Structure 1
Amino acid sequence: MAVAAVGAVIAPQGTAQAAPAAAAAKVVHAAPHGSGKSCTAARPCSPQAARDAARTIGGRDVRVELSGGTYELSEPLALGAADSGRDGHTVTWTAAPGAHPVLSGGRTLTGWDKSADGTWTAKVPEAITPRQLFVDGERARRARGAACAASTCDATKTGMTGATATGIAKWRRPADAEAVIKVRWRDYHCRITGVEGDNLTFARPCWTNSASGTDRTGPAWDSTTVDSARYSGVAFFENARELLDQSGEFVWDAENRTVTYLPRKGEDMRRARVLTPATEHLMVIDGAHDLRVQGIGFAHAAYGQPSTDEGYAGTQAGLTLTGATGPVDHAGRHYTKPSAALTVRGGRHVTVTGAEFTHLGGAGVILEAGTKDSSVTRSRFTDLSSGAVYVGDTEPKPHAELAGERNTVAYNTIRRTGVEYTDAVGIWAGYEAGLSVDHNTLDDLPYSGISVGWGWNQPEAQKSALRDNRITANRITNVMRVEHTQHDGGAIYTQGAQPGTVVSGNYINRSAYGNTERDGNGIYLDEQSSYIRVEGNVITRVGYKWVSNWADYGIQNHATGNWTDTDTPALTGAGSTMRDNHTKLDRLPADALAVAAHAGARPAPAEQLRPDLARSGTASQSSADGAAPAANATDGDTSTDTRTLSEPGAWWQVDLGEARHVGQVEVWNNASMTTADFDVQLARSVDFSDATTTTVHVTGRALRPTLLDTDAEARYIRIKLTGTGRVALAHVLVHPART
């Protein structure tokens, strides 16, 4: 009997015939103001009508093509099970060839009137509460004031002092203003509700959920509430007319329903296009499968919760505690994710690719409620108030249909997210299994870059759905930015036991670089992170440890074959190991450069390290505080410190052995005993009497690091206090001038 050729079908009589060609995809056309009934290119329809038309098509792939322009949505474009691909086919929502469609939740504000003080004011339509304003595509900032120290703005369970000293007691509308407070990794935004004498009260449940007034604020050991010992004051108050003093700032007046804006140089409010986010969700995909979203823009989606009495009681990574009552749960099961422009719930084989998310009041994409085998790829995220991508949920042992499995976040570019809610991370995942976070580029973020896992030290995190996750070949730069004062995180951050999880091939550069505290890490295996392999990563210019797991109940973690410019103590926890790592480097070798260049959404070179002349020098100091020798500052390890005694003119210095042309000095502080108000002297002679001696004064505390560009011939580099106190250093590097 003859065998039919591949691709043929067998006719009833047994004769081989060619298989019929697959039916071409049916194209449905939509346009921003489409009103046609046939949804053709000549007569496109609205996105909602296109959705309804696509539901009637079977037996082949369907393409809903959106022509270019802005689709102003007053409600989400809702896609459900009926919008799925059927019988092995796919439904694709995509940009028409050459088009750039944008789903927008923004409303244009017009009718601007100029005041004598240079500000402009416009009326705001009903049911819109502006938290963000975008003028000709550039984000404006809510008017804000100065910081208020805890000694003045003393927070308690019931409120705060400081109304008199801050001037809030005399503000015309203090109830429009919010206090923004940052405590370690947490961010709080609560609206003022009352002023009585020097005392301020705040909206509830926001304040209750931000203070220790409830047992729901986090693990029992957590001391990061607004009324804790770690509270250092208000970062700033915002949204008061009395604070409007910088160009590019605006104020929302709820009583008169107006926005007042102080333009930047060159802005003409008579011609400017001014948008405020109004619609929360732009696309919601609920229970759909075999669905693709491709090449579509998402812009100006709102996030309404922070403007309500719920406020923003941050817990970690952009999730908040909400509700006046609720179960006591120290594992964070009931925390609330931010609003997102695109949300996928219970999806199967849902693909988001080539999309652009920008100018958002909340997050970009959320995959949740048991979404499986779905992906966010090759998309761009920039200028988001919250995080870019949230995957999964906070239930440690979900029912099978609600488990997040085999999802992918890959080849995305994420920049300037967490603009408003600085505790948000670039990519967050909860209790996921088989997750791949691969080849993403993340840059300029206030807190952690990638966070996978949940549960802290609670029993739920010991045996959960977490397993077999891969964080690979990502490029993460300029995260945990010091100016946002979010501490205790890392470029890559994990929680919970995750058997089979691998962190490999990532390039991390400048995490918590320039920080004042030594708690910003490269790869941070926090709390009960266990069974994780960290291998073949390149990690440079990190504020503290390149790999860290301070908790000894995180077990069986293994760091192997990584490249880094510093050293670190051995990993804690039973069965954890560090082997064959390349540490204390002052130049990256070719293998490391190749790994770094391969990381991220597209190839890019690494920032090469600069040679350190101090590494081979001889260190000394005016005195020593116990077992803290001078050489601890030149040993290539930011976790070891040197300290002098407290004395007038205390100093530390390094002898390079011969005069060298010095181009830069890096001074890394001790953090626990920070060097402050000091001179950095560069000289050819040990008594620093040479006429060519160069002195650079540093006012205030040294950072990690303080960078001083120099152009001097010097053999000796000395750090000398200009007053009394100690010299306390973790690291000093001396770089030759560039040639």
Structure 2
Amino acid sequence: MNRPVNVVRATVAAAFAALLTGLLTAPPAQAAPGPRTLYAAPDGRGSSCTAARPCTPGGARDLARTETGRDVRVLLRNGTYELDEPLVLGAADSGGNGRTVTWTAAPGARPVLSGGRDLTGWRQNTDGTWTADVPAGVTPRQLFVDGRRATRARGESCAASTCDATKAGMTGATATGIATWQRPTDAEAVIRIRWRNYHCRITGVNGDAMTFAQPCWANSASGTDRTGPSWDSTTVDSARYSGVAFFENAPELLDEPGEFVWNSEARTVTYLPRPGENMRRARTVTPHTERLLLVDGAHDITVSGIGFAYAAYRRPGTDEGYAGTQAGLTLTGATGPVDHAGRFYTKPAAAVTVRGGRNIAIDGARFDRLGGAGAILEAGTRDSSLTRSSFTDLSSGAVYVGDTEPMPGAQRAGERNTVAYNTISRTGVEYTDSVGIWAGYEAELTVDHNSLDRLPYSGISVGWGWNQPEAQRSVLRDNRVTDNRITDVMQVAREQHDGGAIYTQGAQPGTVISGNYINRSAFGNTERDGNGIYLDEQSSHILVEKNVVTRVGYKWISNWADYGIRNTARGNWTDTAAPALGGTGSVMTDNRTGLDRLPAEALAVAGRAGARGGPVEQLRTDLARTGTATQSSTEGTAGPELALDADTTTDPRTRSEAGARWQVDLGDERRVRRIEIWNDSSATTADFDVVTDDTTVHVDGKALRPTVLDLDSRTRTVRIVTSGTGRVGLSQVLVHP
């Protein structure tokens, strides 16, 4: 039955009145709580972590754990935070579920977490050196004077004929004078063999023989069945050993300003100042604390604008020493599993380590003056990033991502990590086999728009395991190395060989190397070495496209192994040529090779590469390219024109004879301002004259890759003539106006 209209209206009015009354009398809704801001300071002693009473970083962390319902910001005030142990952020310090946890610099501040110890009380000695006592528990391996790295006192190289290395030790104590040193057991031998680096301390001298710390020496020699692939021949007792690069840390070697010596018995450091240094006023620091920040099992944390300095790397100073394997990883322990794929190698200590992290972001950090590496993301870290940070003056590498196990469990697999817009320069200062950015078995890794400059060995290295059975099936896939700027790497003076600006190992389906600018990798070497993009060993299923690769010591791209398959190189620009890619199904297509000028599109790609872009070295016109080559004789069938083909892998040679000669006729008199002579595979051209129509320049010793001569000549011909009896062997000659 229908209700009267006036009754319905009354009912609605009553309901509305009741609703209005409820709204007016109900308590107001609670707004979401604002973020909690905590303050830390180098001298923080407060417990409330307020702006008025800041606390230590550890105190801020502990207080932040009590906040569960709102965002937390920890602001670090300006200054140096001297740490005896790392700041550890674990699961209890995480964000998540829309809640953020941020550790950042306070506005205008540049906070630095430091592992250094100041050395004070310097006293002058009669010989011009200065000595300071070292606190208990501190073992100086590096020394920084007013922020500038000092060098452990070192001697000259010692050839293998004198310093003959065997599994038992080494000869040469008499000839080097080590037999008469006051404390030879504080000294170390530093040895560089191809891509490896070894640092082992002397433990005894008996006549001409020296012994070395164990297990360092055993791990540096052959026979452990744990060092590298079974075919590896880069141990200290191998045929590739050519001698000791130098011995270091003995007072008898302290003869150059900027050098220091550590005396373990007296517990002193002695230093020879550089001109202008005043040891009474100088701040001298030695790294002591290893890790400065450890993020262990945490998630959803941002670290921004914080500096990390003076972190130590202690293992090389122990009997473990530094038995280098590749890329800054070492073989440790007296025993271990038989392995040829590098699964059980050890990464260096780093200032920042993230283990098993999820959504960890490190941004705008500064890593400098470190005794080890910069940052490590490992043990299943994923969806994390290291961006817009700087790395300079590091003893080891800058960034390590991932691990060496090819088939980790689901929780240990590294995925979707990013290393982008960082600047990396002068790393590997002490451990010259380390690389700028290393990644092991990673999936969907992005290495993008980084700038890497002045590095001793490879720039970016992705993949692991060589061609060993353990590594042939792995989680490697879908990695991207894009738009990076890599200049002046594989520095010749550091004597590390067989690497590249970008280096890969392993089958990596979906991996792309694109838009990178590579300039001067192993430029000026003495042998065929220093690739631009090096698809080494089992590297497979990799696309290399639209990269600019110039002025490299050997091949712009190398894919030599038949078991590295189905790689593609297309649309790249380079000034040299290279053989076809090795392996079934690998192809090269539409590459612009042998250029003597970079076109506009290549200049644009190169100019955009890196953290902030930058200048591009334009190539110089080659007048010899269209010339006519002749030589005094021919060894084999390779004609003289192979020195003009822009291919540094082809070599014409004369016979060994008096006045052996190679010549190019430019076709007309031209003004020549620069000549480049690139040696052949055996550096056979040595002690020679470069002769133009109006100038002769003599070159002592072996030709490099290249030897660069600047001159001002008007000439039609350029001749290369041996001074005595010898051969001329050249891979390339460039003549520039």
| 2:365/2:389 contact within 8 Å kept | yes
| 1:84/1:289 contact within 8 Å kept | yes
Tell me what 1:265 maps to: 275
Q: What are the superposed Cα offsets for residues 690-738 of structure 1, whole Å, 9 maximum, x if unpaired?
A: xxx21111110111001111111111111110011100000010111xx
Tell me what 2:719 maps to: 718
Q: What are the superposed Cα offsets for residues 117-161 of structure 1, whole Å, 9 maximum, x if unpaired?
A: 100000000111111000011000000000000000000000000
Tell me what 1:534 maps to: 544
Which ranges of structure 1 fall in alignment gaps of 5 or more residues?
A: 1-10, 684-692
- The code of the aligned residue for 2:264 comes to A
How far 1:661 moved relative to its partner?
1.2
Tell me what 2:379 maps to: 369
Q: What are the superposed Cα offsets for residues 490-530 of structure 1, whole Å, 9 maximum, x if unpaired?
A: 00000000000000000000001001111210000000000
Answer yes or no: is 1:445 the counterpart of 2:448.
no
Tell me what 2:606 maps to: 596
Once residues 371 and 96 of structure 1 are traced to their aligned partners in structure 2, the CA distance between those partners, rounded to angstroms, is 28
Once residues 335 and 403 of structure 2 are traced to their aligned partners in structure 1, the CA distance between those partners, rounded to angstroms, is 20
How far 1:313 moved relative to its partner?
0.0
Answer yes or no: is 1:640 the counterpart of 2:641.
no
Once residues 244 and 510 of structure 1 are traced to their aligned partners in structure 2, the CA distance between those partners, rounded to angstroms, is 34
How far 1:99 moved relative to its partner?
0.1
- 1:274 pairs with one of 281, 284, 291: 284
How far 1:660 moved relative to its partner?
1.2
1:624 and 1:258, CA in 2 relative to 1: closer, same or farther beyond 3 A?
A: same
**1:66-85 paired onto structure 2 within 5 Å:** 66-85=76-95
Tell me what 2:661 maps to: 651
Once residues 518 and 275 of structure 1 are traced to their aligned partners in structure 2, the CA distance between those partners, rounded to angstroms, is 41
| 1:467/1:501 contact within 8 Å kept | yes
- 2:103 pairs with one of 93, 96, 106: 93
How far 1:26 moved relative to its partner?
1.4
Helix, strand or coil: the match of 1:160? coil
**1:221-236 paired onto structure 2 within 5 Å:** 221-236=231-246
Once residues 104 and 475 of structure 1 are traced to their aligned partners in structure 2, the CA distance between those partners, rounded to angstroms, is 29
Answer yes or no: is 1:580 the counterpart of 2:581.
no
| 2:387/2:422 contact within 8 Å kept | yes
Helix, strand or coil: the match of 2:386? strand
Once residues 75 and 546 of structure 1 are traced to their aligned partners in structure 2, the CA distance between those partners, rounded to angstroms, is 45
| 2:527/2:683 contact within 8 Å kept | no
Tell me what 2:697 maps to: 696
Tell me what 2:312 maps to: 302
- 1:551 pairs with one of 545, 553, 561: 561
- The code of the aligned residue for 2:548 comes to V
How far 1:672 moved relative to its partner?
1.7
Tell which deviates more after alignment, 625-634 or 477-486: 625-634
Answer yes or no: is 1:114 the counterpart of 2:90.
no
Once residues 69 and 288 of structure 1 are traced to their aligned partners in structure 2, the CA distance between those partners, rounded to angstroms, is 26
- The code of the aligned residue for 2:324 comes to G
Once residues 708 and 614 of structure 2 are traced to their aligned partners in structure 1, the CA distance between those partners, rounded to angstroms, is 25
1:587 and 1:19, CA in 2 relative to 1: closer, same or farther beyond 3 A?
A: farther
Once residues 697 and 23 of structure 1 are traced to their aligned partners in structure 2, the CA distance between those partners, rounded to angstroms, is 78
Tell which deviates more after alignment, 115-124 or 652-661: 652-661
Answer yes or no: is 1:621 the counterpart of 2:631.
yes
How far 1:673 moved relative to its partner?
4.5
Tell me what 2:469 maps to: 459
Once residues 696 and 24 of structure 1 are traced to their aligned partners in structure 2, the CA distance between those partners, rounded to angstroms, is 75
Answer yes or no: is 1:495 the counterpart of 2:505.
yes
Q: What are the superposed Cα offsets for residues 417-453 of structure 1, whole Å, 9 maximum, x if unpaired?
A: 0000000000000000000000000000000000000
Once residues 597 and 627 of structure 1 are traced to their aligned partners in structure 2, the CA distance between those partners, rounded to angstroms, is 42
TM-score, normalised via structure 2 length: 0.96
| 1:59/1:87 contact within 8 Å kept | no
- The code of the aligned residue for 1:50 comes to A
Answer yes or no: is 1:187 the counterpart of 2:197.
yes
- The code of the aligned residue for 1:711 comes to D
- 2:210 pairs with one of 200, 225, 235: 200
Answer yes or no: is 1:27 the counterpart of 2:37.
yes
How far 1:87 moved relative to its partner?
2.4
**1:125-274 paired onto structure 2 within 5 Å:** 125-274=135-284
Helix, strand or coil: the match of 1:606? coil
Helix, strand or coil: the match of 2:657? coil
- The code of the aligned residue for 1:347 comes to G
| 2:170/2:209 contact within 8 Å kept | yes
How far 1:459 moved relative to its partner?
1.5
Once residues 460 and 97 of structure 1 are traced to their aligned partners in structure 2, the CA distance between those partners, rounded to angstroms, is 50
Tell me what 1:483 maps to: 493
How far 1:214 moved relative to its partner?
1.2
- The code of the aligned residue for 1:696 comes to V
Once residues 209 and 64 of structure 1 are traced to their aligned partners in structure 2, the CA distance between those partners, rounded to angstroms, is 44
How far 1:23 moved relative to its partner?
4.1
- The code of the aligned residue for 2:365 comes to A
| 2:683/2:702 contact within 8 Å kept | no
Answer yes or no: is 1:611 the counterpart of 2:612.
no
**1:381-392 paired onto structure 2 within 5 Å:** 381-392=391-402
| 1:59/1:86 contact within 8 Å kept | no
- 1:283 pairs with one of 290, 293, 304: 293
Q: What are the superposed Cα offsets for residues 341-370 of structure 1, whole Å, 9 maximum, x if unpaired?
A: 000000000000000000000000000000
Once residues 152 and 260 of structure 2 are traced to their aligned partners in structure 1, the CA distance between those partners, rounded to angstroms, is 5
Once residues 732 and 307 of structure 1 are traced to their aligned partners in structure 2, the CA distance between those partners, rounded to angstroms, is 46
| 1:593/1:605 contact within 8 Å kept | no
Tell me what 1:470 maps to: 480
- The code of the aligned residue for 1:418 comes to G
1:713 and 1:105, CA in 2 relative to 1: closer, same or farther beyond 3 A?
A: same
How far 1:229 moved relative to its partner?
0.3
Tell me what 1:6 maps to: none
Once residues 89 and 721 of structure 1 are traced to their aligned partners in structure 2, the CA distance between those partners, rounded to angstroms, is 74
How far 1:460 moved relative to its partner?
2.5
Matched length:
713
| 1:644/1:726 contact within 8 Å kept | yes
Once residues 566 and 161 of structure 2 are traced to their aligned partners in structure 1, the CA distance between those partners, rounded to angstroms, is 44
Helix, strand or coil: the match of 1:290? strand
| 1:58/1:86 contact within 8 Å kept | no
| 2:482/2:515 contact within 8 Å kept | yes
- The code of the aligned residue for 2:718 comes to I
How far 1:58 moved relative to its partner?
2.1
Identity between Structure 1 and Structure 2 (%):
74
Answer yes or no: is 1:411 the counterpart of 2:421.
yes
Once residues 398 and 684 of structure 2 are traced to their aligned partners in structure 1, the CA distance between those partners, rounded to angstroms, is 35
How far 1:338 moved relative to its partner?
0.1
Q: What are the superposed Cα offsets for residues 284-311 of structure 1, whole Å, 9 maximum, x if unpaired?
A: 0000000011000000000000000000
Helix, strand or coil: the match of 1:460? helix
How far 1:21 moved relative to its partner?
6.7
Once residues 144 and 19 of structure 1 are traced to their aligned partners in structure 2, the CA distance between those partners, rounded to angstroms, is 73
- The code of the aligned residue for 1:731 comes to Q
Once residues 401 and 711 of structure 1 are traced to their aligned partners in structure 2, the CA distance between those partners, rounded to angstroms, is 64
- The code of the aligned residue for 2:668 comes to E
How far 1:617 moved relative to its partner?
0.9
Helix, strand or coil: the match of 1:534? strand
Tell which deviates more after alignment, 58-67 or 560-569: 58-67
How far 1:22 moved relative to its partner?
5.4
Answer yes or no: is 1:52 the counterpart of 2:62.
yes
| 2:189/2:248 contact within 8 Å kept | yes
How far 1:25 moved relative to its partner?
2.1
How far 1:113 moved relative to its partner?
0.7
Helix, strand or coil: the match of 1:376? strand
Once residues 734 and 244 of structure 2 are traced to their aligned partners in structure 1, the CA distance between those partners, rounded to angstroms, is 35
Which ranges of structure 2 fall in alignment gaps of 5 or more residues?
A: 1-19
Once residues 275 and 692 of structure 2 are traced to their aligned partners in structure 1, the CA distance between those partners, rounded to angstroms, is 42
